[in-house]
Chain A
Amino acid sequence: MHFLPPNHYLAAEPYVGNNMIRDAILHTLTNILGPQRCLYRKEDLITFSYDAHTDESLPDAVLFPTTTYEVSQILALADQHNIPVTARGAGTSICGAPIPLHHGLVLSFTKMDSILAVDTKNRYAVVQPGVANADLQKALASEGFFYPPDPASLSVSTIGGNVAQNAGGPRCLKYGVTNDYILGLEVVLANGRVLRSGSRNVKDVTGYNLKSLFCGSEGTLGIVTEITVRVVPLPEAHRTILAIFNDLENTANTVSDIIGSGILPAAMELMDKVVINAVEDSAGIGLPREAEGLLLIEVDGIDEAVEKEMERIVAKAKTNGAVEVQEARTQAESDQLWTARRSAYGVFARLAPHCIVEDATVPVSNVPAMIRGMREIFDRHQLKVGILAHAGDGNMHPLISTDQRNQDEQKRVDKAIREVFELAVQLQGTLTGEHGIGTAKLDFLPLVQDETMKSVNATIKKGLDPKGILNPGKFA
């Protein structure tokens, strides 16, 4: 290897695992991006081989583009040489979506992180894909606005990543998911051409609704390089309450009762005893350890409306057997509860070497049956599982503590997960409400996708990525 970036460490050979990328290509990429933004030492490859899921796969090189033009040049090169390309944000995905399963190039967008425009009069903002969700919220909050989709990873997860997965979050119950907030996308296609779809208008039905095609496509149809998002005014007031139950069934019933009666809180999260205790062990904020279930409910809107809705929710909770309802009295208390909630995944990750989280989703009136069913399945397979859920929209998050090195346990985990998905399908549900398929749910696609669906997916994929270089090995 004759070409060496100007750095005295590089005495060792770079890792070229499967020889897919030749010296010349690396040389060209380094010319496009500079040696600081084109990495291929084994140490760097390792740090881009994982996300928050259990699967890992090494890329051949990691690139940090900062302009659309650079992305276009990279894709043109990849197209010419059939090199797989996988985009990546902060890498907090919990399903394996940004893992370069077939190696090749990883495009990390964390350095392409400018907020290009904020226009609250016209209710939009324009951002580059590497902007962290929380940074966008901060920029908007100073103008009295916010961007509703709030995945638990929002402190670091990027808007680009949110778009790729059509991310959800607790607030989606009332406000909707990422797809509902995209007004326009700039996408670099598999051959390097740049597509601009949508506009800055809140209503626009000109041509195909391509934004909805790319959003949630997990990087398999194009690489997003600019996003125009819809933003909404911050609600005047919000209130957080904790409803505590001695019976998980009652907890689940309360959820469907509240939603069924027409009340729509901003968020309604369910935690079972296992999750409550794990989070309390870590955060120590005074969650009730003896409770069989609790609901963390947030209501927002105009002061008077919030008051009324709160009263009705509390009444419903009590009717359904809540033993206690506590209200967070200050912003700090409310923040504390939500921070603890967001830490649930990480908290579970310490209970065993690995944590698998699923997000099978069912219609809300089937939440009680789904929770009952899941408990039975996991108990029968003797697995340590905590049940967490965006209960208001039926989005379950069973957190499974396991050790992937234990073959026996893995067999039980796989069986249990399959039964959970089968149960969800029986209850008119689906495989994934918000995390995405990634690598985690590939095996289960046949449960919800028939031949027609597969064929249509394949047609679209072939049309937009004929050589199959965009995040290959995933669902499309």
Chain B
Amino acid sequence: MNAEEVYQCGKCGLCLSVCPVYHVTREEGTSPRAKVQLIKHFSEKDLDSSLYLQELMRKCLMCGACTSFCPSCVDHESVFMRMRAEMADEFGDNWKLRLFFHLLSHNERLRFVSRFMHIGDGLVHKLRKSNLRDIPLKRLPQLNTKSFDRQVAATNPPQCALKGTVLYFTGCATRYFFDQIGWSTITVLNRLGYQVDVPKEQMCCGLPLFFHGHEGQALDNIRSTINIFAREDVDAVIVDCATCGAALRHEYAKVLSNLGQPTEKAELLSSKVCDVSEFVAKHVDDLLPVLAQSTEAAIQISYHSPCHLRNSQKVSQQIETMLHSLPGVEYVRASDCESCCGGGGTFFYEYPDITRTMVTKKIENARNTGASLWLTGCPGCRINLQGNMDEGEELTVQHPIEVVAKLLTGK
């Protein structure tokens, strides 16, 4: 296995100070440094593969904090992905995860299943005692009545003067669970003068697959997404999910490079990708004059900075600044706004004890801000945070774009 990145590691241990998993376990084995060293021994054939080694590799949120902090510039994400691929090739995954990835990699299968999920959805919410690990099933988001791509038009022109055109990569979460995010995005971008095109054939970004070591399986997703979205003639490719954003902006080129494929189109796509909150922050001066000024008391809001937006895309401060500047809301910063929520995609399912310690603290600190709205641009974080809060709790988790849209339309 090619693992040249590991030779950059000087074992200085600074990564231990930013690794959220190490913070909980205090075991060297779950630190980024340990994973790098294990991969080194494995690639030098000094360590055999094993289920335990696979587990040690998976006990990682893939949050990217280590990579962004490492003074020796070790690219943890790349080498961890490759190692997960090695382990997945040899040992596979448990059947539930395999089924999940199987669905994500094929659009038609996902659509087919979602129709059945509608039937089950009603039942599920009546099963009071059922849980997905720590999250009661009835606190999971409900399915959209119709998947967003079947509700929305392919082209959504603005009513005001046209400034430009953007493509909208909706991602699975908005498409199946959070159509209000889709509508909010279109509303806000239209008001800024942008036409929003929603390509119909778009698929899952594939990140859950290749983060788990199934790069080959994700190739269809990657190729299709690049073919549809890597266009010179658009102003931006908008994403509303931090993880999809990281995939399109950052990971695609890496995966293709790992598989020995050309990366030019992936790089073009990368240059166009913009998170919707980031886009709004960039154009906030155009937006502020048209936002509804309310005489009612300002709503307290707080923010959770998703790891995949902050670490790999380096977008965080500007969103907080944008939230500060909005009328009608008062932004109160949580003391651990930039700490990982512990969701980590499927991590909360695989290591609920670790997630529990992390998410409990996040929720407590958010409650302490006195906010009634807790904003985050990642559906994974949203499901994890909201799912672990109490029934009937006042604090609600939403996407920043929903708040902006509500201010725009005057609620």
Contacts and interface: CB of A to CB of B under 8 A. Distances in A.
B27 to A, nearest CB: 7
Interface residues of B, number: 32
Interface string B21-55: 00000111101001001100100000110111101
A273 to B, nearest CB: 18
Interface string B58-97: 0000000000001111100000000000000000000000
Contacts of A344: 71
Nearest to A110: B26
B340 interface: no
A9 B8 CA distance: 31
Contacts, number: 105
A90 interface: yes
Interface stretch (B9-17, B106-114, B115-123, B172-180): B9-17
Interface in A1-28: 9-12
Contact of B72 (A113, A157, A349): A349
Contacts of A153: 12-14
B10 A354 contact: yes
Interface string A339-359: 000011111111001110000
A90 B74 CA distance: 20
A234 interface: no
Nearest to A108: B28
Contacts of B37: 46-47, 50
Contact of A349 (B9, B17, B38): B9
A374 B50 CA distance: 48
Contact of A47 (B17, B34, B74): B34
A130 interface: yes
A285 to B, nearest CB: 13
A51 interface: yes
Contact of B7 (A46, A113, A348, A353): A353
Contacts of B41: 46
A64 B74 CA distance: 29
Nearest to B26: A110
A346 B29 contact: no
B389 interface: no
B239 to A, nearest CB: 27
A330 to B, nearest CB: 15
A337 to B, nearest CB: 15
Nearest to B50: A12
A282 B41 CA distance: 27
A10 B70 CA distance: 33
Central interface residue in B14, B51, B73, B74, by most chain A CB within 10 Å: B14
Interface string A78-115: 00000000000011100000000000000010110100
A156 interface: yes
A7 to B, nearest CB: 8
Given A349-B8, A349-B71, A343 B38 contact: no
Nearest to B11: A52
A47 B38 contact: yes
A110 B23 CA distance: 10
Contacts of A345: 10, 12, 71
Nearest to A7: B52
A113 B26 contact: yes
A44 B28 CA distance: 9
A51 B34 CA distance: 11
B268 interface: no
A43 interface: yes
B71 A156 contact: no
Given A64-B27, A156-B16, A282 B10 contact: no
Nearest to A53: B11
B56 interface: yes
B10 A9 contact: no
B67 to A, nearest CB: 13
Central interface residue in B26, B38, B50, B71, by most chain A CB within 10 Å: B71
A306 interface: no
A39 B29 CA distance: 10
B70 A110 contact: no
Interface string A45-57: 0111011110000
Contacts of B72: 346-347, 349-350
Given A43-B47, A349-B71, A48 B10 contact: no
Contact of B10 (A52, A64, A110, A155): A52
A343 B17 contact: no
A47 B50 contact: no
A282 B26 CA distance: 27
B14 A350 contact: no
B17 A43 contact: no
Interface string B157-201: 000000000000000000000000000000000000000000000
B29 A43 contact: yes
5 contacts: A41-B52, A46-B38, A90-B28, A349-B11, A353-B8
Closest A-B pairs by Cβ, 9 of them: A349-B10, A346-B71, A350-B72, A155-B17, A343-B71, A47-B34, A346-B12, A110-B26, A92-B13
Given A153-B12, A349-B71, 19 more contacts: A9-B55, A43-B47, A43-B52, A46-B47, A47-B34, A51-B13, A52-B10, A64-B27, A90-B16, A110-B26, A111-B27, A153-B13, A345-B71, A346-B70, A347-B71, A349-B9, A349-B10, A349-B12, A350-B74
